[in-house]
Amino acid sequence: MTATETFAERLKKATWRDHEEAEQTAFLEALMAGRVSREGYAEMVAQHYFAYVALEEAGRALAGDPVAGPFVTPELERVPALEADLEELYGENWRDEITPSKPTLTYVARINQIAEWPGGFIAHHYTRYLGDLSGGQVIRKVAERAYRFGDAAGARFYLFSGIPDLKAFKAAYRDRLDALAPDEVEARRIVSETVLAYQLNTEVIVEIGKRLPEYLVA
């Protein structure tokens, strides 16, 4: 870390290689190319659902925490959007149709494990929500085109209707990361947890990708 580097910059720099690994999984590359079927996309939404239930439950428990609390804002909440997307994708009995994969169970277990450590929660919060506000926006456009979702139905997860200016929101989010001003030991722990969060996400995607031949469309 250089003397002038902010914590947000440090976090991004220290984890960007892990970001690339996640982004370059065969499944996400095929998804971005519009080559994944609606079934494959639905499976990804289903796996997201289990992770966000855990993440947002942890968030509610930490809402009053002086360190983690400022990150927990209602406009980020994704579970209601995921529920609507799953109903669109699987029908009204969607709850009976979806099952967490083994890597998802591992990911959820880790979220639960760190749920009382504000820095750990922030690591997982950052990895998901800042990603949804970034690359997620590209995924939404691809999904809306590929699956002909009208009015974002099926991709509401990526639609942050409570955030009119994503760029400004992300800048304010990075300010919140900088305001953490963790000491060196805590900074390293948060960076390591973020690397782990990326890896857990990558494993979830790799698992979905095992069925890629089945999901590929011409």
Task: Give the type of residue at 13.
Answer: K
- Given the complex with ligand HEM, which of 14 and 87 has the nearer CB atom? 14
Task: Copy the structure tokens of residue 87.
Answer: 């109903």
Smallest separation, CB 128 to ligand HEM (Å) = 6
The nearest distance, CB 149 to ligand HEM, in angstroms, is 17
Rg (CA), the chain: 17
The answer to the question of residue 12 lying near ligand HEM (CB under 6 A) is yes
Position among 1, 6, 21, 23 found at the interface with ligand HEM (CB under 6 A): 23
Name which position in 35, 38, 170, 176 contacts ligand HEM (CB under 6 A). Answer: 170
User: With binding defined as CB under 6 A, does residue 47 bind ligand HEM?
Assistant: no
Comparing CB distances to ligand HEM, the nearer of 12 and 38 is 12
Task: State which of positions 178-207 bind ligand HEM (CB under 6 A).
Answer: 198, 201
Q: Which residue has the tokens 């030991």?
A: 185
- Closest to ligand HEM by CB, 79 or 87: 79
Look up residue 11 and give its amino acid.
Answer: L
Rounded to an integer, what distance in angstroms lies between the CA atom of residue 122 and that of residue 211? 32
**Contact between residue 18 and residue 195 where contact means Cβ atoms under 8 Å apart:** yes
What the block records as the tokens of 37 is 């079927």
Rounded Cα distance, 148 and 114, in Å: 38
Residue 81 in contact with ligand HEM, rule: CB under 6 A: no
